[in-house]
Amino acid sequence: MKTVKQVLSEITNILDSAGVAESAANAEFILCTLLGKSRTEILAFGSAVFPSEKEEILNSVVEQKIDGRPLEYIFNSAYFLSRKFYVDERVLIPRPETEELILKTQSKLKHVPKNILDLCTGSGCIGISLALNCPKSKVTCSDISAPALQVAKQNAKTHKVEINFIESDLFNNLQGKFDLIISNPPYIKEADISTLSAEVKQEPRLAQIGGKEGTEIIEKIIISAPEFLKKGGMLALEIGDKEGKKVLQFFSRDIWSNFILEHDFAGLERYIFAYIKEI
Ligand SMILES: C[S@@+](CC[C@H](N)C(=O)[O-])C[C@H]1O[C@@H](n2cnc3c(N)ncnc32)[C@H](O)[C@@H]1O
């Protein structure tokens, strides 16, 4: 019989010897998730007996983590703006930068948007969060990937929100006008894919590669968005941290009244907010 504290120390050592970064934090996360307890509970009740029926699953989780599988895929869950989303290898794991995209976007809205489009929705984390935060808005979520849309639909069902899901290569199958188009599109340069960590490499390529330059999909979005935005409507984009100046050049002053580049909490160029002219 082992105590929770003993198991925690054992997993930390195993992960550490296997070269897994932040072994203690990962070990704590694994135990919290498997036992359904908070970090405080795990640390405070370390002398409790670790349930033997959980040993097999614990060993499997640790093995998968050592093999480089992200914990979010192992446990099929990721937290986004404090809400739990189902995730697996069909979708990108939602990132904290994208939470900030939503918070910044919401703070800029002058009124509740009637129609919102989440382009490149993946797990649906952006569109579903906005649907929950703005219950009066009609939200459309689109993605080129049918498997990703299956995940997004599952998340919408779990969070009990009605979303219009459309499979579409960017705007190709979309119709109508929106007050807000928001997107975290793929923005990694093709050549940079080999430099990604083993865990990030397990996420879908389609969700990562933004073309040879990394900005091709973003450029297409900026060029087509005006046709789908109402007058005065806003485009909110997450972009690669070194692409700000280049992306700003895609905006035509004849069409857009204002386009601004903003930084994320790490101080990196990360978001563009642009407004279509009113007249
Ligand atoms: C960076 S992920 C973002 C997922 C999610 N919105 C998030 O923030 O976690 C980009 C998503 O864009 C989708 N995608 C890639 N190319 C696309 C295209 N041409 N048209 C529509 N969606 C595309 C991918 O399938 C992927 O789900």
Q: Which residue's C-alpha comes closest to atom 10 of ligand 1?
A: 207
- Ligand 1 pocket residue status of 94, Cβ below 6 Å: yes
Q: For domain 88-276, give the CATH number.
A: 3.40.50.150
The CA 31 to ligand 1 mean position distance, Å, reads: 32
Burial 68-105 (b: 16+ CB within 10 A, else e): ebbbbbbeeebebbeeebbbbebbbbbeebbbbbbebb
Among 102, 128, 144, 241, the mutation site with the greatest number of ligand 1 atoms within 8 A of its Cβ is 144
CB of 70 shorter than 6 A to ligand 1: no
Token representation of residue 31: 């135990």
Tokens of 17: 């010897």
Which segments of the chain have a pLDDT < 70? 279
| Shortest-distance atom of ligand 1 to CA 170 | 20
Measure the CA–CA gap between 153 and 151, rounded to whole angstroms: 5
CA of 120 to the centre of ligand 1 (A): 3
With beta carbons less than 8 A apart as the criterion, state whether 190 and 133 touch: no
As to burial, measured by CB atoms within 10 angstroms (0-12 exposed, 13-18 middle, 19+ buried), residue 123 is buried
pLDDT of residue 278: 82
Whether pTM exceeds 0.75: yes
Name the residue ranges covered by the structural domains of the chain: 4-67, 88-276
Compute, in angstroms, the gap from residue 184 CA to the centroid of ligand 1: 7
**Residue pair 132/162 in contact by the 8 Å Cβ criterion:** no
Choose which residue among 81, 87, 120 to substitute to test ligand 1 binding: the one with the highest number of ligand atoms within 8 A of its C-beta.
120
Q: How far is the CA of 186 from the centre of ligand 1 (A)?
A: 6
Best CA proximity match to 134, nearest among 168, 170, 166, 109? 109
Ligand 1 within 6 A of CB of 210: no
Neighbours of 17 (CB within 10 A): 10
